[in-house]
A = this chain, B = another copy of it.
Amino acid sequence: MTGFQPDVASDDEIDREEAAFGPLAQAVRELADATIRSTVDPAIANDVREQVEALTARLRASQIDGSYGVPYRADGNSRPWGNAVMGLRNPIAPPLDVVTDPSGRADAHFQLGAAYEGPPGLVHGGVVSLLLDQMLGQAGGAGGHPGMTGTLTVIYRQGTPLFEELHAEAWIDRVDGIKTWVKGRINGPDGVTAEAEGIFILPRWAREILAKREAGGPDIPKQSYFA
């Protein structure tokens, strides 16, 4: 467990990275979708695979060890670009474009494609919980109460459809010391599909950083989420 790392990139470097690797991740998302849905001859699939392997080798010619982490800057902004739900550079992430409010709210509007399937034609129930965990964590962080998930409960009201407009929302319900209760839900074309409640707990290492912040030391992201 490492915590956050300082972001040493310049504004210009960050802009260039975003402009190149954001669209690359989006292209890989499309490739993943096509990998599931394609009905081309297996010989073509084999040929595509060989070329994909060659492209991977080009990207791996220079790469970081391990995972992307969460670089953060002195101004409190962070770049969770590897995050499994939000990550600009993560082809697994839809990615969710979450709008937060300092009152402790988070909203996201999105559709999910073939890669998120569980039951036929429906979003995987676990993907529903994945998205809600992120939304709840974002709402807590936005309201000044960041934390790691302690308990998450999801109640499924109906299947969540693929290929339909969905709206996820979350809000802080109450706060007690290092614990924050956050609620949320996903709304589909036929109403609420799932509801969630989570208890988020500020981890010790983050408490230590926050204590240093109050003492005038290094900062952590303003809208941290550890979920």
> Which residues of A line the B interface, CB within 8 A?
1-5, 16-17, 19-21, 23-25, 27-28, 30-32, 34-40, 42-46, 48-49, 51-53, 55-56, 58-64, 66-70, 81-85, 87, 89-92, 113-122, 124-127, 129-134, 137, 148-156, 159, 161-163, 226-227
The interface residues of chain B lying within 8 Å CB-to-CB of A113 are: 67
The interface residues of chain B lying within 8 Å CB-to-CB of A19 are: 42
| B148 & A129 in contact (Cβ 8 Å cutoff) | no
Residue A60 contacts which of B24, B34, B62 (CB distance < 8 angstroms)?
B34
The interface residues of chain B lying within 8 Å CB-to-CB of A51 are: 51, 55
Closest Cβ neighbor of A31 among chain B residues: B56
The interface centre, meaning the residue of A20, A59, A119, A133 with most chain B CB atoms within 10 A of its CB, is A119
Residue A127 contacts which of B46, B66, B84 (CB distance < 8 angstroms)?
B84
Also in contact, A53 and B27, with CB within 8 A (given A70-B119, A70-B120, A127-B84) = yes
The interface residues of chain B lying within 8 Å CB-to-CB of A67 are: 36-37, 113-114, 117, 120-121, 162-163
Closest Cβ neighbor of A224 among chain B residues: B119
Closest Cβ neighbor of A226 among chain B residues: B119
| A25 & B34 in contact (Cβ 8 Å cutoff) | no
| B159 & A68 in contact (Cβ 8 Å cutoff) | no
The interface residues of chain B lying within 8 Å CB-to-CB of A153 are: 151-154
Also in contact, A27 and B56, with CB within 8 A (given A20-B46, A63-B34) = yes
The interface residues of chain B lying within 8 Å CB-to-CB of A162 are: 66-67
| A1 & B122 in contact (Cβ 8 Å cutoff) | yes
| B45 & A21 in contact (Cβ 8 Å cutoff) | yes
The interface residues of chain B lying within 8 Å CB-to-CB of A92 are: 32, 91-92, 115-116
Also in contact, A83 and B35, with CB within 8 A (given A30-B53, A42-B21, A52-B28) = no
| A82 & B34 in contact (Cβ 8 Å cutoff) | no
How long is the Cα–Cα vector from A63 to B32 in the complex, in angstroms?
A: 13
Closest Cβ neighbor of A55 among chain B residues: B48
How long is the Cα–Cα vector from A173 to B67 in the complex, in angstroms?
A: 36
The interface residues of chain B lying within 8 Å CB-to-CB of A118 are: 83-84, 134, 226-227
How long is the Cα–Cα vector from A127 to B82 in the complex, in angstroms?
A: 13
